[in-house]
Amino acid sequence: MSQTQYPFKLEPLPYAENALEPCISAKTLSFHYGKHHAGYIDKLNGLVKETPLAGLSLEKIVEATAGDASKTAIFNNAAQAWNHAFYWNSLRPRGGGQPPKEFFTILEKSFESFDHFKSQFTAACTTLFGSGWAWLVLDKDVLKVVKTPNAGTPLTNGQVPLLVVDVWEHAYYLDYQNRRPDYAKALISELLNWEFAYSRYSESLSGSGTSPR
């Protein structure tokens, strides 16, 4: 799923559009992926066409434009495209539950208990004001739960994303209306892709980089 060069394309989902039901309906996934995610990529391609940024990977565009007021539109669309690609991989059918044993032990050491992690992660999902993202990240050698507003991403803070939950309204409103806590609970309990998170953690420790591959 690595998006490495212009023109950027909407990569296939790692599962069928109905594969996350009943937590996320096929209608929501079709709209979210086919309209919102696709829209960010289309806008980004138009913004970077015939500019030096067109020669960079999606991740490098995010890093190069972060904090640059003259490139806010490029950053927003590039970061949203990257965040969404990462979100699809943070979920899987019949996910949730407990992480692999090795990662479960790491989480317990970092958050005192797995239940405490889930409480922190749920709180990040439900207390972010407005739109944004809730993340599990590796910050140097420490696991943390962080939240970013709008198109924000841990990539710009030197952190390695491991999992993310999209808490923009378009991610859940068709299924849950204003019940964001119910959406967060369903994803954390039933859909989190712990194998993906552990592979990201392991790759980071071995120096394999931070791109969602």
Inside any domain, residue 46: yes
Bridge partners (DSSP) of residue 164 are 135
Inside any domain, residue 211: no
Q: Which residues contact 143 (CB under 8 A, 6 or more apart)?
A: 106, 107, 110, 111, 136, 137, 162
pTM of the model: 0.94
CATH of the domain at 175: 3.55.40.20
Q: With contact defined as beta carbons under 8 Å apart, do 146 and 137 qualify?
A: yes
pLDDT score at 144? 97
Of 37, 55, 90, which residue is a domain's last? 90
Same domain assignment for residues 63 and 112: no
Total domains, the chain:
2
Alpha-carbon span 83 to 131, nearest angstrom = 13
Same domain assignment for residues 47 and 112: no
3-state SS of the chain is CCCCCCCCCCCCCCCCCCCCCCCCCHHHHHHHHHHHHHHHHHHHHHHHCCCHHHHCCHHHHHHHHCCCHHHHHHHHHHHHHHHHHHHHHHECCCCCCCCCHHHHHHHHHHHCCHHHHHHHHHHHHHHCCCCEEEEEEEECCEEEEEEEECCCCHHHHCCEEEEEEECCHHHCHHHHCCCHHHHHHHHHHHCECHHHHHHHHHHHHCCCCCCCC
Of 42, 68, 90, which residue is a domain's last? 90
Of 40, 56, 90, which residue is a domain's last? 90
Same domain assignment for residues 51 and 113: no
pLDDT score at 1? 42
* End-to-end Cα, the chain, rounded Å: 5
Give pLDDT tens digits along the chain (213 positions).
456 689 999 999 999 999 999 999 999 999 999 999 999 999 999 999 999 999 999 999 999 999 999 999 999 999 999 999 999 999 999 999 999 999 999 999 999 999 999 999 999 999 999 999 999 999 998 999 999 999 999 999 999 999 999 999 999 999 999 999 999 999 999 999 999 999 999 999 887 444 443
Q: Which domain holds residue 198?
A: 101-205
Q: With contact defined as beta carbons under 8 Å apart, do 56 and 64 qualify?
A: yes
Distance from the Cα of residue 124 to its chain's centroid: 14
Inside any domain, residue 3: no
Inside any domain, residue 20: no
CATH of the domain at 42: 1.10.287.990
At 36, which amino acid appears? H
